[in-house]
Amino acid sequence: MRGGGLVAFPTETVYGLGANALDKAAVKSIYAAKGRPSDNPLIVHIAKKEDFAPLVREITPKAQALIDAFFPAPLTIILPKSDLIGSVVSGGLGTVAVRMPQNETARAVIAAAGVPIAAPSANTSGKPSPTNAQYVYEDMNGRIDAIVDGGECEFGVESTVITLAGETPVILRPGAVTQEMLEAVIGRVELSPAVLNELAENETAASPGMKYKHYAPKARIILVEGSRDNYERFVNMQRDCAALCFEGDNITIPKVTYGAEDNALSQSHEIFSALRRLDEIGAKKAYARAPEKSGVGMAVYNRLIRAAAFCVLNLTKPFTIGLTGLTGAGKGYVCERLEARGYRILSTDLYARRAVEKNSPLLGILAGEFGQDIIENGELNRALLAGRAFADSAKTARLNEIMHPEIIKMCRADASCPCVLDASQLFESGADALCSRLLCVSAPEELRLKRIIERDGITEQQARQRMGAQLSEETLESGADYVIINDGRDINSQLDEFINNYL
């Protein structure tokens, strides 16, 4: 290392790929070996606390407090850099990230080198960080000079990165030293929004590493939020994919586990090797069960949501799929196809009828609004209500205001994961917000017109009037995740595409 070589070594977090931080050419070769973008700065590793000061402009009181409380630790502190640190290490920034590893082999390597060691995780850029020497070998064989094999890493996720370069301390990357632990020492610490959210196109990352695709195995990962029950029911219904779940989860498709549900440290220990194991079993798509976001779990969640490229399926929502489409588009057929694939269908039409059954409270409310005579022998006279409610748009809106909440409430009460909410007024009722994914069925206007006339035995004028009362095709389509075009094209292959890409 002193002579400019690249050596991978174990730390308590993940394996690092080390080079002399003061040797520009050696540091450059790290970027080349990893295929890492050159604006993504490296962490400088030290063996003793005294080695910190020369790397930075000044050790602030908060930095000193963290060093005293934690070092050596899976904790990286960012401060304005000294002139000793070149721009290759800092990625052109005015700051430097410094860490003193807890792992004794790591400190022995750094101490033996006798220089500060710049070391990113020893993986190919974009891949999961390596937690044992074998994984380093797989990524780096032929590209580096040596690997020091120290067995499995203890924590398994990279160090907590905190910047003290600004007014308020900010966690740029969560790790085993948690927000709670840091706040206990230096008071208020913020969590960078980039920890849990995707950066917008034009945003600059406080930590350049956060803008790149990360930790990704070959399989497409979908992070699934929700109860164990919902996760199991949904995942066990899927074909041609795998589950990335907790030990003890009841899974009937190929699976890889990453620790126990109630033990975040066991999750962090295994998450990166689990991601690599997904590749080993040849998974093309995997549903990952989301961990709790508290304590060390936050670090695990942060890595997983990146591995998933921010694709989250929220099964805490009552309806798995919200299905809508203009009248005559062929929603009914798509429902049949989804039912054949194991989804329960909840049709708002059906619930709309139930909501106004004899003696229902809603019937009384409608009569109060549209006239007592809409009730005949206790039953709703639909034609009379329709005539009055569709007479003008204010009355129609009033009808919807009364009906929609009750219908959706009834659907919710019957919902169980995985299910489909079949709703022609999905957006108008606000039920779109209650669905994990939104699917729209569409067909050319003339085709829809023909279908309604044939199906309902009505005149063209009546059909056109009915069609005119709906939201525009563009509104439905732009609100949906996926649009099935029902103009003679194969519906099943479109459904496959929707399921493959959005579920």
What's the min distance (Å) between Cβ of 121 and Mg ion?
Answer: 3
What's the min distance (Å) between Cβ of 235 and ligand TXA?
Answer: 31
Among 5, 80, 86, 208, binds ligand TXA (CB under 6 A): 208
DSSP of 35-79, one letter per residue?
A: T--TTS--EEE-SSGGGSGGGBS---HHHHHHHHHH-SSSEEEEE
What's the min distance (Å) between Cβ of 171 and Mg ion?
Answer: 16
What's the min distance (Å) between Cβ of 44 and ligand TXA?
Answer: 8
**Taking CB under 6 A as the rule, does residue 96 contact ligand TXA?**
yes
Q: Which residue is nearest to ligand TXA (CB)?
A: 209
DSSP of 482-501, one letter per residue?
A: EEEE-SSS-HHHHHHHHHHH
Q: Which runs of consecutive H residues, i.e. helices, occur in 295-444?
A: 297-307, 331-340, 348-355, 361-370, 382-389, 393-414
Q: Which entry of Mg ion, ligand TXA, none binds 186, CB below 5 to 8 A by partner kind? A: none
**Taking CB under 6 A as the rule, does residue 95 contact ligand TXA?**
yes
Q: Are 148 and 8 in contact (CB under 8 A)?
A: yes
Among 6, 8, 11, 402, binds ligand TXA (CB under 6 A): 11
In the DSSP assignment, the letter for residue 204 is: P
How far apart, in whole angstroms, are the C-alpha atoms of residue 43 and residue 21?
A: 9
What's the min distance (Å) between Cβ of 444 and Mg ion?
Answer: 50
Task: Fill in the per-residue mask, 185 to 224: x = in contact with Mg ion (CB under 5 A), - = not in contact.
Answer: ----------------------------------------
Tokens (6 digits) for 409: 């409430």
Q: Which entry of Mg ion, ligand TXA, none binds 156, CB below 5 to 8 A by partner kind? A: none
Q: Which entry of Mg ion, ligand TXA, none binds 259, CB below 5 to 8 A by partner kind? A: none
**Taking CB under 6 A as the rule, does residue 266 contact ligand TXA?**
no
**Taking CB under 6 A as the rule, does residue 102 contact ligand TXA?**
no
For Mg ion, the closer CB: 30 or 298:
30
Q: Is 460 exposed, middle or buried (0-12, 13-18, 19+ CB in 10 A)?
A: exposed
Residues 6+ apart with CB under 8 A from 178: 160, 295, 296, 298, 299
**Taking CB under 6 A as the rule, does residue 29 contact ligand TXA?**
no
**Taking CB under 6 A as the rule, does residue 207 contact ligand TXA?**
yes
If residue 231 lies in a helix (H) or strand (E), which one and from where to where? helix 228-235
Q: Which entry of Mg ion, ligand TXA, none binds 277, CB below 5 to 8 A by partner kind? A: none
Size of the site for ligand TXA (CB under 6 A): 28
Radius of gyration for the alpha carbons in the chain, expressed in angstroms and rounded: 29
Among 20, 76, 324, 429, binds ligand TXA (CB under 6 A): 76
For Mg ion, the closer CB: 121 or 207:
121
If residue 245 lies in a helix (H) or strand (E), which one and from where to where? strand 242-245
Residue 115: helix, strand or coil by DSSP? Answer: coil
How far apart, in whole angstroms, are the C-alpha atoms of residue 56 and residue 431?
A: 54
Tokens (6 digits) for 46: 């030290």
Among 6, 41, 66, 480, binds ligand TXA (CB under 6 A): 41
Alpha carbons within 13 angstroms on the beta-carbon side of residue 481 total: 22
How far apart, in whole angstroms, are the C-alpha atoms of residue 328 and residue 170?
A: 54
Stretch that binds ligand TXA, among 206-214, 221-229, 384-392, 462-470 (CB under 6 A): 206-214
Instruction: Please choose, from the candidates 40, 310, 42, 291, the residue with its C-alpha nearest in 3D space to the C-alpha of residue 199.
Output: 310
Q: Are 60 and 164 in contact (CB under 8 A)?
A: yes
DSSP of 276-314, one letter per residue?
A: HHHHHTT-SEEEEEPPPSSTTHHHHHHHHHHHTTT-EEE
**Taking CB under 6 A as the rule, does residue 347 contact ligand TXA?**
no
**Taking CB under 5 A as the rule, does residue 76 contact Mg ion?**
no
For ligand TXA, the closer CB: 67 or 480:
67
Q: Name which of residues 98 to 137 contact Mg ion (CB under 5 A).
A: 121
Instruction: Please choose, from the candidates 151, 167, 149, 185, the residue with its C-alpha nearest in 3D space to the C-alpha of residue 73.
Output: 185
Stretch that binds ligand TXA, among 114-122, 141-149, 355-363, 430-438 (CB under 6 A): 114-122
Q: Name which of residues 140 to 199 contact ligand TXA (CB under 6 A).
A: 158-159, 161, 172-173
For ligand TXA, the closer CB: 78 or 438:
78
**Taking CB under 6 A as the rule, does residue 78 contact ligand TXA?**
yes
Q: Are 1 and 106 in contact (CB under 8 A)?
A: no
Q: Name which of residues 392 to 411 contact ligand TXA (CB under 6 A).
A: none
Q: Which entry of ligand TXA, Mg ion, none binds 90, CB below 5 to 8 A by partner kind? A: ligand TXA
For Mg ion, the closer CB: 121 or 266:
121
What's the min distance (Å) between Cβ of 394 and ligand TXA?
Answer: 56
Interface positions with Mg ion (CB under 5 A) = 121
Interface positions with ligand TXA (CB under 6 A) = 11, 13-14, 16, 40-43, 74, 76, 78, 90, 93, 95-97, 99, 119-121, 158-159, 161, 172-173, 207-209
